[in-house]
Structure 1
């Protein structure tokens, strides 16, 4: 299949590229600049000539941003839309909200109008679109939705990221219902995403949000006390990449959300794995490791991802060890 991946330099997207190439798909990815595009091509020397290319989309929040990117010869069969900001360093909440919502609506409109060959679109959503911190259910599943509004996302910075993901995914499903395009949609909803990056970050500051925790541990940032776990669910990035690709390939994935999580964890477990597998970090951890996981914790149902996408989730130890080894090897 010929596939467009948006935001190819991102943590999840870069693994999607690797998985797609390994499964012999032809891939085009969007990047914000030609410089980023060339770095991506250099990161996948195993791809055959012509199997991987890029197209520049400077600002995904702009109207008609993807209009040219989705036109291709031969035409695209599927599109993985992963491009959305994920950081907490914004000045204005709209910096997160608008690119996520407008980018999602914009690419779906463009596909319907200009790329009739596309049969499947897969969008990266998040557990943030599922979780309801004001009142957890007994078990989270694909039927669970975060009810945050745009106004709440503007007024409460603690809700801004969750609003960006929930409202973007809702916009996608509303588009499908109202516009009835010629393609089907699947969405992927991961919680914390751990695992080694594909691209070597220029510095510790350039690490994606979740992997910054590992760098903190390695540099003594956990010495006084462990950081709060926050969301007690996790998944490895390599499983998430496979989930995207399988959601594109499998006919039964059409019209479905996928809650993709390997299960519960806490930072105490991460610290214990680091302590056991990397004794050199023992003195960078508290003498006594304590868990912040509540005794009564919500459950999670990931059965749909196993049954339809065939996922077999990596264990936490593999993810932690591989990530720390990556950071060590690149002296981050």
Structure 2
């Protein structure tokens, strides 16, 4: 770990991932300006990070897609050397059209890059991208399996994204287009800073911020609630979906490490702990938390059935360069499940009052 104290501009700080990234940065002693969309979100962050003191300040940017959206955020007596951009739309319940996912992702990314370009003290921009920008999802069953690497790109086109009937396809496109625009910016503008993109698969794990109701969960954790904690033992086992995953706390640590590692510059890095099937998640939950006996699908215990010729991903840069050691899946899913059950109980008790 570098002994240098960094000054970091962090977007999306109030989100599921951004909150954990903020905690890592503050724990390392870095000075952070958190970009949030309202003063209410800033106040909640202060409650979550009470020990931050003068190491944490805020800038409210209501619309990250607006022209020069981050110009005021970059104004600081203590100049920034690092920018971490985690802000991106990914709440299907807030989406009314495909453009609601596509445009903000691209415009927000470009806005932060142009803002950094105008401030010569910035040495690195770290972009939270996704494995969705890497995998070609049209390859339903690639022959002989496949290892996806940082050299691969999701080949989705704008026309396909606009015509897509499901928001998951549009989300993948939004991550692809925004990251491609970032690398094109680097090639054409040749700015004074380098770029690092972190590309996680499904991100699970306990919340650091408080929510008042299960409905406020991020999409990945909401999937665990709906399919594994609020179902029944006789429910059909959910499909595996994207069966590669990472714990949000490990992903947050990856952001911290990316600040301090010179050798990671201008690279895409897949941040993934491993693979897990729906059956395995169900087995972990049912075998350890008694109250889930009637709520979690039974399926066929012990049968971890992966897709035929299932794919893998290249995690070597994450472990070799960033030095990550990933949490066991039991830690991720059990800690998350216990937290969600507690939130649900609090909500139920309040409704009875």
Q: Is the TM-score greater than 0.5?
A: yes
Q: Superposed, which structure 2 residues align to 1:168-247 within 5 Å?
A: 168-216=178-226, 217-220=228-231, 223-247=234-258
2:35 corresponds, among 30, 33, 48, to 30
The answer as to whether partners of 1:200 and 1:330 remain within 8 angstroms in 2 is: no
For residue 153 of structure 1, what is the aligned residue in structure 2?
A: 161
Q: For residues 221 and 236 of structure 1, what CA distance do their matches in structure 2 show?
A: 25
Equivalent in 316, 325, 340 of residue 303 of structure 1: 316
Residue aligning to 2:50: 45
> 5 Å matches for 1:89-104?
89=93, 90-104=95-109
1:13 is matched with which residue: 18, 26, 35? 18
Q: Contact 1:78/1:119 (CA < 8 Å) preserved in 2? A: yes
The question of whether the paired residues in 1 share the 8 Å contact of 2:279 and 2:299 is answered with no
Matched residues in 2 for 1:232 and 1:219: separation? 20
Asked if the contact 2:81–2:124 (Cα under 8 Å) also holds between the matched residues in 1, the reply is yes
State the shift of 1:292 in Å. Answer: 5.6
Higher mean C-alpha deviation, range 87-96 or range 182-191: 87-96
**Aligned partners of 2:310 and 2:120: how far apart in 1?**
45
- Shift in Å, 1:291: 5.2
Moved more, 82-91 or 103-112: 82-91
35-44 or 291-300, which deviates more? 291-300
User: Counterpart in 2 of 1:70?
Assistant: 74
Report how many aligned residue pairs link the two structures: 330
Bigger CA drift: 222-231 or 301-310? 222-231
The structure-2 alpha-carbon separation of the partners of 1:139 and 1:35, relative to structure 1 and needing over 3 Å to count, comes to same
Structure 2 length-normalised TM = 0.90
Gaps of 5+ in 2: 1-5, 346-353
Question: Which position in structure 2 is the counterpart of 1:127?
Answer: 131
Moved more, 275-284 or 291-300: 291-300
Helix, strand or coil for the counterpart of 1:3? Answer: strand
In 2, the alpha carbon distance for the partners of 1:245 and 1:266 equals 29
Match of 1:258 in 2: 269
**CA positional deviation for 1:223:** 4.2
Relative to structure 1, the CA distance from residue 213 to residue 222 in structure 2 (aligned partners, 3 Å threshold; closer, same or farther) is: farther
| 1:103-147 C-alpha deviation (Å, 9 max, x unpaired) | 11111011102x211101100000110110112461111111101
CA contact (8 A) 1:13 1:82 kept: yes
What is the aligned counterpart of 1:142 among 150, 157, 182?
150
Contact 1:2 1:75 (C-alpha < 8 Å) held by counterparts: yes
150 and 222 in structure 1: CA distance in 2 versus 1, 3 angstrom threshold: farther
How far residue 221 of structure 1 moved from its aligned partner, in angstroms, is 5.6
Q: Call closer, same or farther: CA 1:309–1:222 in 2, change over 3 Å.
A: farther
Q: Is the 8 A contact 1:11 1:197 kept in 2?
A: yes
Larger displacement relative to structure 2 (64-73 or 176-185): 64-73
Partner of 2:43, secondary structure, is helix
Which residue is 1:318 aligned to?
331
Q: What's the CA shift string for 1:7-43, capped at 9, x where partnerless? A: 1111110000000011110111111100110110110
Q: What RMSD in Å do the two structures reach over aligned CA positions?
A: 1.5
Instruction: Please say if residues 228 and 292 of structure 1, whose CA atoms lie closer than 8 Å, have aligned partners that are also in contact.
Output: no
- 1:197 Cα shift? 0.9
Matched residue, 1:328 = 341
Q: Secondary structure at the match of 1:70?
A: coil
Cα separation, 2, equivalents of 1:6 and 1:99 = 13
Contact kept in structure 2, 1:225 and 1:285, CA below 8 Å: no
* TM-score normalised according to structure 1 size: 0.96
Q: Which residue of 2 aligns with 1:112?
A: 117
- Structure 1: 5+ residue stretches without partners: none
1:58 corresponds in structure 2 to 62
Measured in 2, the distance between the counterparts of 1:229 and 1:209 equals 15
